[in-house]
Amino acid sequence: MNFLELVKKRSSCRNYTSKEVSEEKIKIILEAARLAPSACNKQPWRFVVVKNDEIKKRLIKEGCLFGMDMDWATRASVIIVLGIEKSFITHKIAPKISKVDYPLIDLGIAGEHIVLQATELGLGSCWIGWIKPDVIGKIVSFKKQIKPLALITVGYPAESLEKEKKRFPIENITKFL
Ligand SMILES: Cc1cc2nc3c(=O)[nH]c(=O)nc-3n(C[C@H](O)[C@H](O)[C@H](O)COP(=O)(O)O)c2cc1C
């Protein structure tokens, strides 16, 4: 699979089998996240890999916001909590000057490495951003300076990952100068 094929193959998977994802595969996924680039190489991402069923249920039932049926997420083999370390002084000063939220970009890149690596391993994954960060932080015992920004479910897909991509055409989202 070349890179564009991998990108095309990744889609949000909300239907998982009960098969467990091995420790080895989780480590490969985390390694892909660890190698992501970050502003000033600060690597502000922090991850919690949740395999425990009770904690997964709490993350989804207590830690997600209203209006979306998220029960499917509890059936994923693991839920990875993605947080950012907020205490770096550079991350406090630099955005004041540039108005760019670097840790948010950094975590987005690391998270995308996670889902693409999962896809390459034949696994399904889904980003979940409709969360209550404070509640999630308490459930996984993050220190105060670590803010959860997203969850990613990972598991064996019980559906095809090859779905039609509904995306804007390049000319609608790009300007060539
Ligand atoms: C930052 C982010 C947050 C998301 N939050 C949720 C979510 O809370 N619940 C959900 O079911 N899907 C969520 N998604 C998945 C998107 O709905 C999905 O990526 C989008 O519809 C495109 O579909 P695809 O991933 O299958 O290509 C999220 C995706 C991203 C990148």
CA 146 to chain centre: 15
Report pLDDT for 68.
Answer: 86
Distances (CA, A) of 70 to 59, 67, 75, 156, 159: 10, 9, 10, 17, 17
Report pLDDT for 156.
Answer: 98
At residue 82, what are phi and psi to the nearest 5 degrees?
-110, 120
**Ligand 1 atom 20: residue of nearest CA:** 12
CATH of domain 13-155: 3.40.109.10
**Average pLDDT per 10 consecutive residues for the chain, totaling 177 residues:** 95 97 98 97 97 98 93 97 90 84 95 98 98 98 97 96 93 97
* 13 CA: nearest ligand 1 atom: 26
Report pLDDT for 161.
Answer: 86
Report pLDDT for 93.
Answer: 84
Burial class of residue 15, CB neighbours in 10 A (0-12, 13-18, 19+): middle
Do 33 and 113 contact (CB within 8 A), yes or no?
yes
Distance CA(147)–CA(4), nearest Å, equals 32
* 131 CA: nearest ligand 1 atom: 8
Domain locations along the chain: 13-155
Phi-psi map region of 129: left, alpha, beta (phi>0 left; psi -120 to 50 alpha): alpha
Element (H, E) at 32: helix 23-34
Report pLDDT for 175.
Answer: 97
Report pLDDT for 87.
Answer: 83
**Ligand 1 atom 12: residue of nearest CA:** 128
**Ligand 1 atom 17: residue of nearest CA:** 12
pLDDT tens, position by position, 31-45: 999 999 999 999 999
Pocket of ligand 1 (CB under 6 A): 11-12, 68, 126-130, 150, 163, 165
